[in-house]
């Protein structure tokens, strides 16, 4: 099934596909971390009718039920298309001042402008982690932002 990805400047990303009945379905991944499930009527491809709004935690739960998507990989692919936007990976090493602490304690987005969009923990991906998500040694943080912002996250997390 083909999934189209569309950058929505200032909003986030929209993923859309046509289901088996011919309906165009969209998922809007907002920069805030919230998600919106929408359907588009056949007569106006730009008019979306919201079906369901989810917080990032609710979306994570639904993703686990349905089979976790590869949002982090898609964000990384998208950054190649947006000048000035980069994707990086930052490891939480043993001895990090933030190992076994909440992601929000880093204040990474506030301090660097870069966003941690996923945490890779072994075989699992935690998409759109909230500030209460505990970081563990060995976690890989998927970071989106400027190169300077990503380097800043690395300095913060690695102490």
Distance (Å, whole) CA 38 – CA 9: 18
User: For the residues of 66-100, what is the DSSP string, one character each?
Assistant: H----HHHHHHHHHTTSTT-EEEEEE--TT-TTTT
Among 24-33, 67-76, 110-119, name the most confident range. Answer: 110-119
The pLDDT tens digits of the residues spanning 106-119 come to 999 999 999 998 89
What is residue 32's predicted lDDT score, i.e. its pLDDT? 76
Contact yes or no for 111/98 (Cβ under 8 A) = no
The pLDDT tens digits of the residues spanning 77-136 come to 655 666 777 888 899 999 999 999 999 999 999 999 999 988 988 878 888 889 999 999
| 71 pLDDT above the threshold of 60 | no
Cβ burial, residue 119 (10 Å; 0-12/13-18/19+): buried
pLDDT class of 72 with cuts at 50, 70, 90: low
Distance (Å, whole) CA 58 – CA 128: 11
Q: Which two tokens stand for residue 99?
A: 């190992």
φ/ψ region of 107 (left if φ > 0, alpha if ψ in -120 to 50, else beta) reads left
């Amino acid at each position: 099934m083909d999934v189209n990805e569309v950058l929505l400047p200032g909003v986030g990303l929209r993923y859309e596909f046509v289901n088996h009945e011919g309906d165009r379905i969209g998922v809007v991944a907002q920069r805030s971390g919230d998600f919106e499930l929408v359907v588009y009527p056949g007569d106006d491809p730009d008019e979306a009718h919201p079906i369901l709004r989810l917080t990032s935690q609710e979306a994570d739960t639904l993703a686990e039920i349905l089979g976790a998507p590869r949002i982090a990989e898609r964000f990384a692919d998208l950054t190649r298309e947006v000048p000035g936007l980069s994707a990086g990976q930052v490891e939480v090493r043993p001895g990090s001042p933030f190992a076994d602490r909440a992601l929000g304690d880093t204040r990474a987005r506030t301090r660097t402008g870069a966003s941690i969009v996923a945490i890779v923990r072994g075989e699992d991906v935690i998409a759109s982690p909230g500030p209460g998500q505990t970081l563990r040694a060995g976690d890989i943080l998927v970071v989106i932002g400027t190169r300077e912002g990503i380097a800043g996250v690395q300095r913060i997390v690695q102490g």
